[in-house]
Amino acid sequence: MRTQVAIIGGGPSGLLLSQLLHKSGISSVVLERKTRDYVLGRIRAGVLEVGMVDLMREAGVAERMEAEGYVHDGTKISCGDEIFHIDFKKLTGTPVMVYGQTEVTRDLYDAREAAGGDIRFNVENVVIHGADGDAPFVTYSAEGQEHRIDCDYVAGCDGFHGVSRQTIPLDVRKEYEKVYPFGWLGILSETPPVDDELIYANSERGFALCSMRNANLSRYYIQCSLSDSVDDWTDAAFWEELKRRIPREAADKLVTGPSIEKSIAPLRSFVTEPMRWGRLFLCGDAAHIVPPTGAKGLNTAASDIHYLYNGLKDFYLDGTCDGLDAYSEKALARVWKAERFSWWFSSLMHRYPDQSEFDLKMQQAEIAFLRDNENAQKVMAENYVGLPY
């Protein structure tokens, strides 16, 4: 069979691209190796930049986000028992939307299915052929049958462990990586959030984050050792440690409860260049990974999709290739700024095993400067709410 754009990966990147293409009358097929339920079972971050909010509206999938999402005008940052507020709205005129990535993905799946979108689950052995030529095609197997999809372009939206990035020859691509010496232990609990904003906490015992999904669903994280396993942490041990890392005023009002999800995620910064090879375009986690500190994973995937969607739309509707030809350079320019912010915020808020006393003093001085200087807060706010596309 033939489609205009073959999309590898049915996560937020692939689904958002497919839905936007559909809105412009451009055909696509999404190939997903897991099931819809498996994809929706992944618990990810929950802060959307204004650019992602606008893309959801453009894709026609913003109704539930508008109804159930939380508009946050700022965030709280703490160091030990001291806590201060960064006012995004005052400093940038822009808020952020707190709405779980699982819900974003659910809304996109619902929209694609309502529109009769072609999403194929449980696909195996996906191979991208002829990406460096003029007649690319994708083969895959499913239920013991071999399949071939001829297409004009391939969008590699298959995440960090997908096949798309590996399709680009090693002598063409260059990879950059930083692995952090700690992980995040996260839990989901059906308890009211500890505060009406997020709290990013730097403490002598390590980083912690208090987040939320709704009025009775909270998301908490604590920095943990890479040698930790989820089994090392009972719920009681998690709550006790979290209380020791957040300010006393927050710890005293924290409502604890049983975890309904508990997992450990490693932290890495990763970028592959270029993000295009012939008729193959890499988007989202297939091309780049950030530590979750700045909530930039989905939001950087969103700007990739914005650039690629508009390049494809210009090609199919106006016959111009300028957008596609500029994709990799334009996407990477924003990717690297998101990488920098995520690295900076992670460096500011976490305790590193090899930190010297001097390093700690530098970290505390930088937090104090952020607390006291409105220009420093404006720079942080501009990056957090999202740099322009």
Residue 221 known to be catalytic: no
Q: Is residue 300 part of the contact set for ligand PHB (CB under 6 A)?
A: no
Cβ proximity to ligand PHB: between 167 and 211 the closer is 211
Considering only residues 73 to 112 of the shown chain, the ones binding ligand APR according to CB under 6 A are: 101
Q: Is residue 269 part of the contact set for ligand APR (CB under 6 A)?
A: no
Q: Is residue 157 part of the contact set for ligand APR (CB under 6 A)?
A: yes
- Shortest Cβ distance from residue 36 to ligand APR (Å)? 10
Q: Which residues contact 363 (CB under 8 A, 6 or more apart)?
A: 202, 347, 348, 355
How far, in Å, CA of 206 to CA of 224, rounded? 8
Amino acid present at 147: H
Is residue 211 a contact partner of residue 220, using CB atoms and an 8 Å limit?
A: yes
Cβ proximity to ligand PHB: between 153 and 345 the closer is 345
What separation in angstroms does the CA of 101 have from each of 44, 46, 297, 358, 366?
A: 6, 5, 10, 38, 31
How far, in Å, CA of 271 to CA of 35, rounded? 27
- Shortest Cβ distance from residue 155 to ligand APR (Å)? 10
Residue 70 known to be catalytic: no
Residue 136 known to be catalytic: no
Residue 181 known to be catalytic: no
- Annotated catalytic residue: which of 99, 153, 200, 327? 200
Kindly indicate which of the ranges 45-53, 76-84, 159-167, 327-335 contains the residues binding ligand PHB, using the contact rule CB under 6 A.
45-53
Q: Is residue 301 part of the contact set for ligand PHB (CB under 6 A)?
A: no
The pattern of x and - marking residues 32 through 61 that bind ligand APR according to CB under 6 A reads: xxx----x----xx----------------
Residue 352 known to be catalytic: no
How far, in Å, CA of 24 to CA of 27, rounded? 9
Is residue 120 a contact partner of residue 18, using CB atoms and an 8 Å limit?
A: no
First to last CA, the chain: 35
Token pair of 360 as six digits: 């700690």
Is residue 279 a contact partner of residue 136, using CB atoms and an 8 Å limit?
A: yes
Token pair of 54 as six digits: 């606008």
Token pair of 92 as six digits: 């940038």
Q: Is residue 219 part of the contact set for ligand PHB (CB under 6 A)?
A: yes
Q: Which residues would be at the binding site for ligand PHB (CB under 6 A)?
A: 45-47, 198, 209, 211, 219, 292-295
Active site residue ranges:
72, 200, 292, 296, 384
Q: Which residues would be at the binding site for ligand APR (CB under 6 A)?
A: 8-14, 31-34, 39, 44-45, 101, 123, 126, 157-159, 161-163, 284-285, 297-298, 301
